[in-house]
Amino acid sequence: MGRTGLFDLEKHFAFYGAYHSNPVNIFIHMLFVWPIFFTSLVLLYFTPSLFGLPHIEFSPFGSNVNLVFNFGFLLTLIYALFYIAFDKKAGSLAALLCFFCWVGSSSLATKLGYSLAWKVVLAAQLFCWTGQFIGHGVFEKRAPALLDNLVQAFLMAPFFVLLEALQMSCAYEPYRGFHANVKAKIDAEIKEWQAKKQKKIS
């Protein structure tokens, strides 16, 4: 069954979907949202350890990885818990991907060092964000959701693109009737937005 309030997945996913209804724009976001999260963690790797917690060092496949319980880990934990609270199955998969990103970004940051890492992160972020703005401006023809809901755009976008991928690949839905309900809300929101846009023009 659906929930209400902060964890009303239908409401949040419908809001996101109203800004991402064009197939090309959806595909662009599927390509770029998770890399934005990953590269953010690369930069956050260089923040100090929280509460003096010890580092964890290990060498998988001959590559040295130094895991630091810092702001990158805290961000990963917040995202992971939030996604699981939304939906146990898809949320658990999203949480697992978050921690894979944390480990992978830690490995990459260790190899690059800060002097090179921030340049790589800057280039990747500019490329990914430019791609997304092109998706909205050229294909969606609507401003991105971050201009209306900054928290949702950053916190929920990785989970939503994963949910879209699961829906497309295996018709997954958190509960029976979820996608039908969401589609109805998206159609209503888009219709309302188009009416407001037409009113401004006239």
- Give pLDDT tens digits for 75-99: 999 999 999 999 999 999 999 999 9
Task: Average the pLDDT over 60-79 and give the result.
Answer: 86
pLDDT at residue 64 greater than cutoff 90? no
User: Long-range pairs for 65-74 at CB < 8 Å and ≥24 separation?
Assistant: 65/103, 65/106, 65/107, 65/110, 66/106, 66/110, 67/102, 67/103, 67/106, 68/106, 70/44, 70/45, 71/44, 71/47, 72/41, 72/44, 72/45, 72/47, 72/102, 72/105, 72/106, 73/102, 74/50
Give the number of domains in the chain. 1
- 181 assigned to some structural domain: yes
Of the chain, the percentage scoring pLDDT greater than 90 comes to 62
- 182 assigned to some structural domain: yes
Asked if 131 contacts 26 with a C-beta cutoff of 8 angstroms, the reply is: no
- 3 assigned to some structural domain: no
Give me the domain span that covers residue 118: 9-193
Q: What is the pLDDT of residue 151?
A: 73
Q: Is 139 exposed, middle or buried (0-12, 13-18, 19+ CB in 10 A)?
A: middle
pLDDT at residue 119 greater than cutoff 90? yes
- 109 assigned to some structural domain: yes
- Distance CA(131)–CA(16), nearest Å, equals 17
The helix (run of H) or strand (run of E) holding residue 56 is: strand 56-58
Count of beta carbons in the 10 Å neighbourhood of residue 24: 12
Q: If you ran DSSP here, which 8-state letter would residue 47 be given?
A: S
- 189 assigned to some structural domain: yes
- 200 assigned to some structural domain: no
pLDDT at residue 202 greater than cutoff 70? no
Where residue 66 falls among pLDDT bands split at 50, 70, 90? confident
Q: What is the pLDDT of residue 152?
A: 72
pLDDT at residue 132 greater than cutoff 90? yes
